[in-house]
A and B are shown apart, each in its own frame.
Chain A
Amino acid sequence: MATIRDMIAPFELFQPTSIGDAVALLGEHGADAWVLAGGLDSFDWFKDRIKRPGVVVDLGAVEELRGIRASGGGLEIGAMTTLTDVELHPDVRARFSILADAARHVATPQIRNQGTLGGNVAQDTRCWYYRSGWPCYRAGGNICYASAPKAMNREHCIMGASRCVAVNPSDTAPALIALDAQMVIQGPEGERVVEAKDFFIGPGIDITRMTVLEPGDLLTAIRIPDTWSEATFYYEKVRDRNSWDFSLVTVAAALRVEGATIGDARIAVNGVAPHPVRLQHVEAYARGKTRDDDNGRQAGELAIQKARALRHNDYKLSLMKNLVRRAIRGMEA
């Protein structure tokens, strides 16, 4: 594991008070700038001296980035809104409870008080080879230590690998995908809105990033449309211990159920690929099906069709299969 030195390398600190100033700073300093939100991912990197940005742009004073407000029938959540605020917000709990559930499953209360929704979705992978500063593909090198024949890869991916086998660690990401959320990004070219399912990218597209955010970009808000308001939700995160741990596999499902029949569905999983995966083929299967164990079992089998275990993580195949099964069946196995 990395050596914690508790002595952060020097950097120039900027504390803008508006989105415009923050975006201007990020545009000015480009790849040398680091966006600091809650700091829970950032300070690990800084203290290990593995990431050494020349400039840190602290968003803590940008009030525009905080808060939850109504927007077009849905909600708009500022990227700097804390996970506790997301978890406890009455509208989120009443209409999009899956997101409140997801936020509640992040780490510990202290971390949720400090951590932000934007930081949770934009955080880097927790692959320990990468986090230890080894020159793997994701760090700009040309090897994946975690996929080597004798690597320790119990927590790594079972699908979507392209040289790198790290997984996305975000708990809220699958919930946002299930809700058809949209990510609002301010960059040098202005504002753009990206669907949550397209916000996360795999190593096949860019092995050094986990999201579409490029140097100069700032995630400012997350919009939740009313599409899945008050739908039937299922969220389950499996981890080695019940608190303060990253996900092994997480499933998030939003279902429109009429009687016992599934009218429409959004199902996403995380912890199985370098990016959260929306299971569109499972959604297609579920539409029009009865919400029972037979269909749940079939959906689970479909979900892992393209999965392939590494040396130490074949348990993820049955875990993912059973979580999808539960999401469709709607009760614990």
Chain B
Amino acid sequence: MELFRRAANPWNQEVLIGVSWDLMWAAVIAGIAFMVAHALLVMGKTKRLAEPAAEAAGIPEKIERHSMGARAFHWLMAVAMFALLVTAFVPVIGLQFPWVTIHWVAGVALIATIVYHVFHSILKEDFWSMWTRSVDVKRGMMLLKNVFTRSDAEDPKTGKYGVDHQLYHHAVMVLTVAAIVTGVLMMFRIDTPFWERNPYLLSDGAWGIVYVVHGLSGVALITMVMTHVYFAIRPEKLWLTRSMIFGFIDRSHYLEHFDPEHWKVGSGAGEALEAPSGGALAETAAQSPHESV
């Protein structure tokens, strides 16, 4: 299997022109392998449920997990990402259609959603809930141990986003930024309304690197999207998927999966759909507004 495609430029110098499309299949196989391995590891595993009763006081019945703005971003990004992957890779496997315009328009849409997401997450959401701290790493290690040892021990509770969510977010962020930066450069080589095309903006060698980075990030995103969809449709995760549609989770899921110290809900937190009756959680939230949503 080749990793890169090369060609001779007009000066007979060998230059990179992109990644080998074998990597596309490698990414698909990697995604399938991950899903199968995970399914086998968790198959038949009985999970011990948490004892939520003592903590339930003051927790509303429905807890907002994703605001309307966050959900709109997620689904618009998903549509753009899906369009980008389909227009990038379906022609490679033989289904030919005029893909270039759809591809760059979807790319521009993706950039717009991400710009919105950056400002929205900084100004309106709890930016730090996606920040990976040492406690998140420790919990992640415990979670991995439970999975690999097929332990029926209770999975560690997390903040609003567990370390698995955080790392997935960071990986997708890096890959998407790489794809966007290189994609915008590649738009200089085609007709768009933004500028006059100029294929000589960079040297042959630099263009080769741009194409390779774009290709690598693209094929990696295939695996990332596959695994994301896999987890979204797993039965034990459907409550999380529903929260990306309807915006909220219910109290029992909150108490079962999340550490109230690290994802504070209740009075004053602003995300409860029903006003909580106060109590220790509300008091803690007032003391650590930095951690609240």
What residues of B have a CB within 8 angstroms of the CB of A147 in the complex? Answer: 197, 199
- CB contacts (< 8 Å) of B196 on chain A: these are 149
Residues of A within 8 A of B (CB): 134-135, 139-145, 147-149, 161-163, 201-202, 204-206
Asked whether B7 lies within 8 Å of A205 as measured between CB atoms, the reply is: no
A145 to B207, CA, bound (A): 14
The CA of A142 and the CA of B200, in the complex, are separated in Å by 12
Counting from the closest, the 5 A-B pairs by CB-CB distance are A135-B7, A204-B98, A206-B96, A205-B96, A143-B199
User: Which residues of B have CB within 8 Å of A148?
Assistant: 198-200
Q: Considering the chains assembled together, what is the distance between the CA atoms of A202 and B100 in angstroms? A: 12
**Given contacts A135-B8, A141-B17, could you give 7 more A-B pairs where the C-beta distance is less than 8 Å?**
A134-B9, A139-B7, A142-B211, A201-B96, A202-B98, A205-B97, A205-B98
Residues of A within 8 A of B98 (CB): 162, 202, 204-205
The CA of A147 and the CA of B98, in the complex, are separated in Å by 19
Is the Cβ of A163 less than 8 Å from the Cβ of B189? yes
Q: Is the CB of B100 within 8 A of A163?
A: yes
Q: B residues 190-242 with Cβ under 8 Å of A?
A: 190-191, 196-200, 207, 211
Residue of A with least CB distance to B18: A142
**Cβ-based interface call for B4 (8 A):** no
Complex Cα–Cα for A184 and B91 (A):
24
Distance to closest chain B CB from A158 (angstroms): 13
Asked if B96 and A143 make an inter-chain contact with CB atoms under 8 angstroms apart, the answer reads: no
The interface residues of chain B lying within 8 Å CB-to-CB of A205 are 96-98
Please tell me if the beta carbons of B96 and A141 are within 8 angstroms of each other in the complex.
no
A145 to B190, CA, bound (A): 12
Given contacts A142-B207, A142-B211, A163-B190, contact A149 B198 (CB under 8 A): yes
Would you list which residues of chain B between 1 and 59 have a CB under 8 Å from chain A?
5, 7-10, 15, 17-18
Minimum Cβ distance to chain A for residue B116 (Å)? 30
Closest partner residue, chain A, to B208 (CB atom): A142
- Rounded to whole Å, the gap between the CB of B84 and the closest CB of chain A is 17
Is B89 in contact with chain A by the CB < 8 A criterion? no
- Cβ contact within 8 Å between A144 and B199: yes
When the two chains form their complex, are residues B207 and A143 in contact, meaning their CB atoms are under 8 A apart?
yes
Chain B residue numbers with a CB within 8 Å of A204 are 98-101
Q: Give bound CA distance, A201 to B101, whole Å.
A: 16
In the assembly, what is the distance between CA of A12 and CA of B120, in Å?
63
Of the candidates A134, A163, A201, the one whose C-beta lies within 8 Å of that of B10 is A134
CB of A30 to closest CB in B, whole Å: 12
Neighbouring B residues of A163 by C-beta, 8 Å: 100, 189-190
Give Cα A306–Cα B180 distance, bound, in whole angstroms. 30
**Bound state CA distance, A221 and B101, in angstroms?**
34
Q: Which chain B residue shows the least CB distance to A209? A: B96
Inter-subunit contact B17/A142 (CB<8 Å): yes
C-alpha gap A144/B196 in the complex (Å): 14
Instruction: Tell me which of B17, B100, B200 contacts A135 (CB under 8 A).
Output: B17
A148 to B196, alpha carbons, bound, how many Å? 10
Roughly how many angstroms separate A142 CA and B202 CA in the complex, as a whole number? 13
Contact B96 A140 (CB under 8 A): no
Which residues of chain B come closer than 8 Å to A135, judged between CB atoms?
7-9, 15, 17
Give the residue of B17, B97, B191 whose beta carbon is less than 8 angstroms from that of A161.
Answer: B191
On whether the beta carbons of B7 and A162 are closer than 8 Å, the reply is: no
In the assembled complex, which residues on chain A have CB atoms less than 8 Å from the CB atom of B99?
Answer: 204
Contacts of A139 in B (CB 8 A): 7
User: Which chain B residue has the least Cβ–Cβ distance from A149?
Assistant: B198
Closest chain A residue to B211, Cβ basis: A142
Q: How far is the CB of B26 from chain A (nearest CB, A)?
A: 20
Tell me the bound Cα distance from A139 to B211 in angstroms: 16
- Give the nearest-CB partner of B196 in chain A: A149
Chain B residues near A145 (CB, 8 Å)? 10, 199
Closest to B10 in A: A134
Kindly state the separation between the CA atoms of A148 and B198 in the bound complex, as whole angstroms.
6
B16 to A, closest residue via Cβ: A142
The complex places the Cα of A300 from the Cα of B28 at a distance, in Å, of 51
| Cβ contacts A to B, 18 pairs, < 8 Å | A135-B7, A135-B15, A140-B5, A140-B17, A142-B17, A142-B211, A143-B189, A143-B199, A144-B189, A144-B199, A149-B200, A161-B191, A162-B98, A162-B190, A201-B96, A202-B98, A204-B100, A206-B96
